Amino acid sequence: MRTDYFIIFFSIIFIVSCGKNTDNSIEKNISESELVEVETYGLGKAWLSEYGFYEGDLKQLKPVENVHPYEINSPLFSDYASKKRFIYLPEGKSVSYVNNGVLDFPVGTILIKNFYYEKIKGSSTPKVIETRLLIRYENEWKPLTYIWKEDQSDAFLEIVGSRKPVQFISEDGSLLDIKYSIPDLNQCQNCHNKNEVLTPIGPTAGQLNKYVINDGKKVNQLALLARKGVVSGMPGMDNIPRVAQWDNPGHYSIDQRARAYLDMNCGHCHNPQGSAKTSGLYLTLDELDDHKIGINKKPVAAGKASGNLLYDIVKGKPEESIIVFRMDSEKPEIMMPELGRSLIHKEGVELIREWIKKMDE
């Protein structure tokens, strides 16, 4: 079934790519889609509104009864885009708790992630850019991506990805002008690959174990989801792991924050089952071997991408560490992560730089 799905996708890529050779032509396609019928190739619904996830004005993302919002402790960096996440559950179903790894979602579940910017040049309201879905079938998950129309009235299915010009105001008040990258299905598969099976990344017990505001009160999110019947089989709260918030130095050590950051931004590929497994560099939270984390580890390939540096991490010397060199680059042939960003995450780079600098203290 999975093979059929991606055979269809690669066939579409071949057909569509014949007419999409430049960034300009891709952007033209986005504009045209405001007017023409969307081709679904039988992979999903043409328009996001057809799923019925939200009520009222679609861009407000107000969920209906069986669509449940959730947050995670340390999210993936995506060119400073904010995200609103939801779980759609089939009626009468619940999510089974798993202590280590992604929770066990029932067939029919849809994980929904909306990417948006709070402040857009020339707009007084937030702007949603894309919505990604992961749909749980009997033996697999399938990804779909929807791109929002300029008037924010709906979002259309896009199989082959795109790049969209976005001008947004950053937290320090500066205007950033980027070509926001929307992934194709193959890129979704690359990041969500675990032993050649597409798997969700974010909704683990440790990531969901955080305090959120609900009806004006601060509550533990997992406890709330359990009370609502969304999550079943939970142990006592003292036995549930928690992933550190990478940007919360008041509650977590720099080691906890750096490892959480690397886990979410790099660990989905850099693990023994991921698409970067042959690198031998494993950046998940459960990796305890210093050498596999990168300390005094030589890369499997040297040269330009490594900046002619010798080791992934050199204790006390971030300027000699390949991991910092690649995070601090915007060049496609060098930068890491290689997908999902066009900007350098300055705050993330600084965190990893400080973490390495303090390793010898």
Higher-scoring residue by pLDDT: 358, 3: 358
Tokens of 93: 């179903």
Tokens of 61: 């993302």
Question: Final residue of a domain: which of 188, 210, 243?
Answer: 243
User: 25 lies in a domain?
Assistant: no
Same domain, 215 and 353: no
User: 26 lies in a domain?
Assistant: no
Residue 31 burial by Cβ neighbours in a 10 Å radius (0-12, 13-18, 19+)? exposed
Q: What is the DSSP secondary-structure string of 117-186?
A: ES-BTT-SS-EEEEEEEEEE-SS-EEEEEEEEPTTSS-EEE-SS-EEEEEEEE-TTS-EEEEEEEE--HH
Same domain, 173 and 92: yes
Residue 323: Cβ within 10 Å count: 28
Same domain, 130 and 143: yes
Q: Which of 13-17, 163-167, 212-216, 263-267 has the lowest mean pLDDT?
A: 13-17
Q: State mean pLDDT over 191-214.
A: 90
User: 20 lies in a domain?
Assistant: no
Tokens of 94: 């619940």
Same domain, 327 and 296: yes
Quick one: pLDDT at residue 318? 97
d(CA 137, CA 66): 18
What stretches of the chain show up as alpha helix (H) in DSSP?
A: 2-17, 23-32, 185-191, 205-208, 221-227, 254-265, 290-293, 322-327, 346-357
Structure confidence at residue 360 as a pLDDT band (50, 70, 90): confident
Quick one: pLDDT at residue 23? 38
User: 220 lies in a domain?
Assistant: yes
Q: What is the pLDDT of residues 8-29, one digit of tens each?
A: 555 555 444 444 433 333 343 4
Q: Which amino acid is at 113?
A: K
pLDDT above 60: residue 4: no
Same domain, 238 and 271: no
Structure confidence at residue 234 as a pLDDT band (50, 70, 90): very high
Number of domains composing the chain: 2
User: 194 lies in a domain?
Assistant: yes
User: 28 lies in a domain?
Assistant: no
Q: Are 156 and 46 in contact (CB under 8 A)?
A: yes
Q: Which of 10-14, 264-268, 298-302, 336-340 has the lowest mean pLDDT?
A: 10-14
Using alpha carbons, select from 133, 125, 129 the residue that is nearest to residue 115.
Answer: 129
Same domain, 135 and 94: yes
Quick one: pLDDT at residue 27? 42
Same domain, 197 and 346: no
d(CA 30, CA 27): 5
Q: Are 120 and 128 in contact (CB under 8 A)?
A: no
Q: Which amino acid is at 63?
A: P
Quick one: pLDDT at residue 36? 53
Radius of gyration of the chain (CA): 21
Same domain, 63 and 193: yes
d(CA 284, CA 102): 13
Quick one: pLDDT at residue 7? 54
Same domain, 176 and 278: no
User: 33 lies in a domain?
Assistant: no
d(CA 93, CA 226): 13
User: 13 lies in a domain?
Assistant: no
Question: Final residue of a domain: which of 228, 243, 258?
Answer: 243
Helix (H) or strand (E) holding 96: strand 95-96
pLDDT above 90: residue 31: no
Q: Are 161 and 246 in contact (CB under 8 A)?
A: no
Q: List the domain range (segments joined by +) for residue 146.
A: 39-243
Q: What is the pLDDT of residues 33-80, one digit of tens each?
A: 454 567 777 889 999 999 999 999 999 999 999 999 999 999 999 999
pLDDT above 50: residue 238: yes
In Å, how far are 45, 90, 133, 134 from 114, measured between CA atoms? 17, 20, 9, 12
Same domain, 58 and 157: yes
Same domain, 275 and 221: no
pLDDT above 90: residue 155: yes
Question: Final residue of a domain: which of 243, 262, 285?
Answer: 243
Same domain, 237 and 255: no
Structure confidence at residue 241 as a pLDDT band (50, 70, 90): very high
Q: Which amino acid is at 239?
A: N
